[in-house]
């Protein structure tokens, strides 16, 4: 089965890492900015505020990634804002979205806002770093720093030697893309990367957090997953580090399941909102009651469809366009609910597609 690589979605694992290791993130990817931040003053994530900005922008993406309030060392301003985007797909409107988020954040807070991007896609030559527009004698120009994860393939040895947790994250991300069609190779790399965690001298807390990132992003079919856990148990016995106990395993799995559930809920919520909006518009023309009912039904349909796509993306990373079109073509509520359960229970994307055909 050929997969559409542009549908990969690694957002949630990366945002979890960013939440736990923001300072390490800045020093690893944007050291020139990290050196100008007064880390003794702490920092604050403004996730809810950014969600409001991204909803108002109406640019297609459900949410932006991170907005962080930090303090500068030179004290020229009490605090400034860092807007960070993790972009896993090539997107023609991405520079425009960066520009819109930046000026909306600035408009809301009246503070210097620095937008930064991590390009996690697999298009080596796609490196957008500016947005420009002009008409007559009016010209707009916006430039932002970007980091391309594919470029780190040239510095693999440095990644292996680095003690920064984002070196592990980058290696896991690169090997996830490289082994998209080879589960055996993915399992081997997954075991090797986790072995490196134990040998790098990380604390138990960091090993568990980084283990969760690797386990989330490098998904394996059920048969290889069992072999993987057997090898991890052997590594822990060898290193005398029984860190990933049954309790930690349950916690890691629960975190992944919560990410899947969050994606489904976001899809349902978006669909219902769209349906309500459409229902109101139809109601003005054909009667509020009839239009609202139809709109809500359509919203529920779109919401379940989006929930199925979010679950499949989180579990199997990539969805063929043909499968996306099939799901979007289903309107029967009973069939959609059955597909929703199948998306959660299927052991592989191929198994889901086969079940869908029947």
Q: Where does a domain end: 122, 152, 182?
A: 152
Residues 145 and 211 placed together within one structural domain of the fold: no
Checking if the pLDDT of 8 tops 50, the result is no
Checking if the pLDDT of 60 tops 70, the result is no
Query: Coil, strand, or helix at residue 115?
Result: strand
Burial class of residue 149, CB neighbours in 10 A (0-12, 13-18, 19+)? buried
pLDDT tier for residue 73 given thresholds of 50, 70 and 90: confident
Comparing 126 with 248, the larger pLDDT belongs to: 126
Q: Where does a domain end: 214, 247, 280?
A: 247
User: Mean of the pLDDT values across residues 166-191?
Assistant: 90
In a domain, 234, yes or no: yes
Lowest mean pLDDT segment, chosen from 67-71, 178-182, 191-195, 269-273: 269-273
Residues 11 and 79 placed together within one structural domain of the fold: yes
Residues 88 and 159 placed together within one structural domain of the fold: no
Comparing 293 with 78, the larger pLDDT belongs to: 78
In a domain, 256, yes or no: no
Residues 138 and 19 placed together within one structural domain of the fold: yes
Lowest mean pLDDT segment, chosen from 50-64, 117-131, 136-150: 50-64
How many structural domains compose the chain?
3
Q: Where does a domain end: 247, 280, 295?
A: 247
pLDDT at residue number 117: 93
pLDDT at residue number 219: 84
Residue of 76, 75, 85, 106 whose CA lies nearest to 30: 85
User: Mean of the pLDDT values across residues 113-118?
Assistant: 93
pTM, whole model, 2 decimals? 0.64
Residues 199 and 240 placed together within one structural domain of the fold: yes
Q: Which domain holds residue 234?
A: 153-247
pLDDT tier for residue 136 given thresholds of 50, 70 and 90: very high
pLDDT at residue number 292: 57
User: Mean of the pLDDT values across residues 298-313?
Assistant: 79
pLDDT tier for residue 3 given thresholds of 50, 70 and 90: very low
Residues 6+ apart with CB under 8 A from 99: 131, 140, 142
Residues 129 and 38 placed together within one structural domain of the fold: yes
Residues 75 and 136 placed together within one structural domain of the fold: yes
In a domain, 36, yes or no: yes
Comparing 167 with 269, the larger pLDDT belongs to: 167
**199-229 pLDDT tens trace:** 887 888 888 888 888 888 888 887 888 888 8
Checking if the pLDDT of 59 tops 70, the result is no
In a domain, 315, yes or no: yes
Residues 6+ apart with CB under 8 A from 137: none
Burial class of residue 181, CB neighbours in 10 A (0-12, 13-18, 19+)? exposed
pLDDT tier for residue 293 given thresholds of 50, 70 and 90: low
pLDDT at residue number 249: 53
Residues 88 and 216 placed together within one structural domain of the fold: no
Lowest mean pLDDT segment, chosen from 44-58, 169-183, 338-352: 44-58
**257-268 pLDDT tens trace:** 555 555 555 555
In a domain, 260, yes or no: no
Residues 286 and 313 placed together within one structural domain of the fold: yes
In a domain, 145, yes or no: yes
In a domain, 261, yes or no: no
Residues 178 and 221 placed together within one structural domain of the fold: yes
63-to-96, 131, 143, 149, 283 alpha-carbon distances in Å: 15, 20, 21, 21, 29
Residues 138 and 175 placed together within one structural domain of the fold: no
Cα 78 to chain centroid, rounded = 31
In a domain, 120, yes or no: yes
What is the residue-averaged pLDDT of the chain?
Answer: 79
**250-259 pLDDT tens trace:** 445 555 555 5
Comparing 303 with 106, the larger pLDDT belongs to: 106
User: Mean of the pLDDT values across residues 267-293?
Assistant: 58
Residues 204 and 242 placed together within one structural domain of the fold: yes
């Amino acid at each position: 089965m050929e997969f559409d690589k542009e549908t990969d979605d690694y957002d949630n694992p990366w945002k979890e890492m960013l939440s736990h290791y923001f300072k390490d993130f800045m020093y690893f990817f944007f050291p020139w900015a990290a050196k100008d931040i007064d880390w003794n003053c702490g920092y604050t994530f403004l996730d809810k505020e950014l969600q409001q900005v991204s909803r108002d922008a109406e640019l297609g993406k459900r949410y932006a990634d991170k907005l962080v309030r930090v303090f500068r060392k030179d004290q020229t301003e009490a605090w400034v804002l860092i807007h960070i985007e993790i972009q896993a797909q090539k997107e023609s409107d991405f520079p425009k979205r960066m520009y819109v988020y930046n000026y909306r954040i600035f408009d809301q807070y009246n503070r210097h806002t620095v937008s930064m991007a991590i390009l996690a896609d697999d298009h080596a030559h796609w490196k957008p770093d500016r947005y420009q527009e002009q008409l007559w004698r009016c010209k707009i120009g916006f430039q932002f720093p970007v980091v391309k994860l594919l470029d780190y393939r040239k510095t693999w040895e440095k990644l292996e030697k680095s003690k920064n947790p984002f070196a592990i994250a980058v290696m896991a991300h690169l090997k996830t893309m490289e082994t998209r069609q080879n589960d055996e190779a993915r399992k081997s790399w997954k075991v090797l990367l986790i072995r490196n965690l134990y040998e790098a001298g990380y604390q138990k807390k960091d090993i568990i957090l980084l283990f969760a990132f690797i386990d989330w992003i490098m998904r394996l079919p059920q048969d290889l997953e069992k072999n993987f856990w057997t090898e991890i148990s052997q590594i822990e016995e060898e290193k005398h580090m029984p860190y990933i106990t049954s309790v930690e395993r349950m916690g890691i799995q629960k975190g992944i399941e919560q990410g899947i559930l969050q994606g489904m809920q976001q899809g349902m919520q978006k669909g219902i909102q769209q349906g309500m909006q459409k229902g109101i518009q139809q109601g003005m023309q054909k009667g509020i009651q009839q239009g609202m009912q139809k709109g809500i039904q359509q919203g529920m349909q779109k919401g379940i469809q989006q929930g199925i796509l979010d679950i499949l993306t989180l579990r199997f990373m990539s969805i063929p366009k043909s499968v996306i079109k099939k799901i979007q073509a289903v309107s029967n509520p009973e069939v959609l609910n059955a597909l929703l359960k199948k998306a959660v229970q299927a052991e592989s994307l191929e198994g889901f597609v086969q079940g869908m055909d029947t």
